């Protein structure tokens, strides 16, 4: 049947969705990821102290800290590969769609509104998650910050998503759960 667009939806040409924490309930697994990694390496002593120290760090910085403080021999590339592998298992077996997401995506699809995913998570892992949950076909494309070479603390991923669909940034709506990403999207227009 016919679905009437809201005034907001009429103004927008493209809807960009973050995945983790916005479309799917995966943030708990990401928050526990470093603990899970350390335990997989046999590190169980002083976990809370170690994890408190790495809270403000990037994954690369955390890897260096684990190497020096815990004696773990692991390059940043190996660390990221292992983390992605652990998360892939959670995406396949544990992660669920957030309430109301499928219904909203159905509504947007019925209105013919193009949608994409713009995620900080690596594209193959995003594809695995969305495919597993039956969400992949809603989106025209998936874009990862890895592809654009910048995290969501910069507007690059939002600008590239708009460019790919030939939309002006001002004609795009962004759905995010991280305030720094919202600021970057606003900076992108």
Instruction: Enter the pTM of the model.
Output: 0.81
Residue 4 has pLDDT above 70, yes or no: no
Q: By mean pLDDT, which of 9-18, 98-107, 120-129, 148-157 is the weakest?
A: 9-18
Q: State which H helix or E strand residue 173 sits in.
A: strand 172-175
State the average pLDDT over residues 138-161.
Answer: 90
* 53: its two tokens: 């120290």
Rounded to 10°, the helix 27-40/59-70 angle is: 30
Confidence of residue 124 (pLDDT cuts 50, 70, 90): very high
Scanning 41-99, the segments in alpha helix (DSSP H) are 47-54, 59-70, 76-93
- C-alpha 104/C-alpha 108 separation (Å) is 6
Q: What pairs with residue 67 in β-bridges? A: none
Residue percentage of the chain with pLDDT more than 70: 93
């Amino acid at each position: 049947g016919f679905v009437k667009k809201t005034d907001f939806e009429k103004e927008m040409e493209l809807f960009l969705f973050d995945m983790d924490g916005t479309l799917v309930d995966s943030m708990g697994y990401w928050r526990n990821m470093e603990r899970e990694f350390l335990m997989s390496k046999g590190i169980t002593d002083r976990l809370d102290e170690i994890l408190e120290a790495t809270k403000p760090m990037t994954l690369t910085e955390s890897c260096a800290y684990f190497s020096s403080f815990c004696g773990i021999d692991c390059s940043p590339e190996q660390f990221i590969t292992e983390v992605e592998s652990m998360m892939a298992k959670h995406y396949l077996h544990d992660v669920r769609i957030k309430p109301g997401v499928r219904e909203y995506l159905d509504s947007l699809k019925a209105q013919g509104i193009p949608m994409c995913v713009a995620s900080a998570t690596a594209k193959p892992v995003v594809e695995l998650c969305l495919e597993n949950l039956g969400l992949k076909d809603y989106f025209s494309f998936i874009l990862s910050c890895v592809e654009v070479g910048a995290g969501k603390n910069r507007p690059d991923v939002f600008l590239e998503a708009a460019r790919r669909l030939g939309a002006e940034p001002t004609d795009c709506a962004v759905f995010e759960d991280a305030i720094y990403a919202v600021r970057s999207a606003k900076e992108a227009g």
